[in-house]
Amino acid sequence: MSWGTELWDQFDNLEKHTQWGIDFVEKYTKFVKERSEIELNYARQIRNLSKKYQPKKKEEDDNKYTWCRAFHSTLNELNDYAGQHELIAENMTSQIIAELTRYAQEIKTERKAHFHDGRKAQQQVEASWKQLESCKRKFERDCKEADRAQQYFEKLDADINVTKADVEKARQQAQMRHQMASDSKNEYSSCLQKFNQEQNEHYYTIIPNIFQKIQAMEEKRIERMGESLKTFAEVDRQILPIIGKCLDGITQHAHTRRIMSIVIESYKSGFEPPGDVEFEDYGQAMKRTVSETSLTNSRSDSKADRSSKGKSKTLWPFIKKNKGSNPEDFSHLPPEQRRKKLQAKIDDINKDIQKEMDQRDALTKMKEVYVKNPQMGDPNSVDPRLAEIAHNIEKLQAEAQKFEGWLAEVEGRMPVKSDPPKRTSSLYCHSPFSPDGSYTEEPSSEVQSKVQPETAESGDEFDDADEEMLPTIGTCKALYQFEGANEGTISVVEGELLYVIEEDKGDGWTRIRRNEEEEGYVPTSYVEVFLDSNAKGAITYI
């Protein structure tokens, strides 16, 4: 169906209809703009929510727990999820809003040109019609004047009292009017023929062509609206796989394996459970016999116990923690936790030393370049900074040596894993915690004299272990990825092959080695172990 042939007389209605179409395009553009603003606001709120629950610096230690890491990973996935909604808004702005805004301006200009041509054609037809009407009225007037002149001539010609000159004059006047009427008739006929030709061209050629262009413009507008609606859906559809991956990531983190041994590593004190408390019979006037299960090994200690009014007899697990300031050597902590803190401190210092050494090496190379190419800079300008770095390294090394001394002291006093449990720990005033809850490393003279030989022996074993590398007893394959964030552990990736140097001793951990410089513990459940046939036990863990 063609608008040019069917709607030839609906110029005004088509003008209103096309204007409504443009208004609809602008209305839809506004709708998409508000939708994109909603997506941006939603993404902003999701990002703020994720940021609000991100772990604070003081909560960094919680990252060692799998459920905390799973939640933090969920927050990161949620942040990516918000990014996808920002992408929706961005794509809607670029692919729909910007395009429709530009197209609305184009269609306005095109519509204006078409209807301008239509009005111009209408004005031409109307002008031709007015000219025809004018010729018609002139022809009508001239015919009436000719009739009146003829009647007047005939009246004078019949009157015998009128002179011949008057009759002749009337005849000439009638002839002139008849000639004017004939000329008007010819002019009217010419105008009529011209008008009919222009009218035919107007309604069968000009207007159909203009209306056909307007129809094509409307069809294109409808097509563009359909494309925009399709894009509106596709913008959402394109990000659905990525959003699905974000949700899959959250689900995957929710199924993270629970490593309960981390709790042991976090809170293990390193003490042996206390032994039985000896019955003290105050009813008999006799010297109390010192037993191996009691730490009250001297008379002076007994007096100290009595003077402490019983406070020192409280078992160490029930002593309140010291609320005072923590000492630099972490002596307020149990041995195992103190060892971890000292080791972590040493690692941090070593990292700082390495940074300073890297800066020193970079500045040394720069100085060498300046020496070879003086135009690039003054070599002496680097010396103050090198001196400062050397001072920093010396200071950090001294601090590291201090903490290494405390670490060696702690490791020397910690009980060896294979030793039988000692029942003389954690009783009375010789408990590793003082009555106020702080940890102390100053046992009584008698206990110290008993511990020192063991300490020296364990220290020798530790030194020998450092000097001689443990042999491999088999191989293992990592079943899962393990980050190894804690001291003494090692990071592995899924499918990695490594050497086993110490099998699981019942604590859920297996000691492995990657190369001569990298070794540590991984959860036994995370690896598949293949022990050599001549290794002890020769058991495969899965």
- CB 527, CB 476: distance < 8 Å: yes
Sorting pLDDT into bands at 50, 70 and 90, what band is 248? confident
Question: What is the distance, to the nearest Å, from the Cα of residue 120 to the centroid of all Cα atoms in its chain?
Answer: 59
pLDDT (tens digit per residue) in 186-207: 999 999 999 999 889 988 899 8
User: Which contacts of 252-255 are long-range, i.e. CB under 8 A and separated by 24 or more positions?
Assistant: 253/69, 253/70, 253/71, 253/73, 253/74, 253/77, 254/70, 254/74
Over residues 322-334, the mean pLDDT reads 70
3-260 matches 335-413 in fold: no
Please name which of 541, 508, 507, 511 lies closest in space to residue 527, comparing C-alpha atoms: 541
Read off the pTM. 0.47
Residue 394 CA neighbour count, 13 Å, CB half: 6
The residue ranking higher by pLDDT, 508 or 225, is 225
Q: Name the architecture of domain 3-260.
A: Up-down Bundle (1.20)
458 Ramachandran zone, left/alpha/beta (phi>0; psi -120 to 50): alpha
Find where tokens 């909560």 sit.
59
Domain 335-413: state its class: mainly alpha
- Domain locations along the chain: 3-260, 335-413, 474-531
Please name which of 486, 473, 470 lies closest in space to residue 523, comparing C-alpha atoms: 486
User: Tell me, what's the pLDDT at 531?
Assistant: 84
pLDDT (tens digit per residue) in 131-163: 999 999 999 999 999 999 999 988 888 888 888
User: Do β-strands 497-502 and 509-513 pair in parallel, antiparallel, or remain unpaired?
Assistant: antiparallel
- CB 272, CB 416: distance < 8 Å: no
N-term to C-term CA, the chain: 77
Residue 184 is which amino acid? S
The residue ranking higher by pLDDT, 299 or 394, is 394
Phi and psi at 206, nearest 5°, equal: -65, -55
pLDDT (tens digit per residue) in 86-117: 999 999 999 999 999 999 999 999 999 999 99
Query: Which letter, b or e, does each residue of 132-168 get, where b requires 16 or more Cβ atoms within 10 Å of its Cβ?
Result: beebeebbeebbebbeebbeebeebbeeeeeeeeebe
Averaged confidence pLDDT in the chain: 78
Please name which of 513, 459, 525 lies closest in space to residue 489, comparing C-alpha atoms: 513
DSSP-derived letter for residue 205 is I
% the chain with pLDDT above 70 = 75
Domain 474-531: state its class: mainly beta
The span from the CA of 476 to the CA of 495, in Å, is: 10
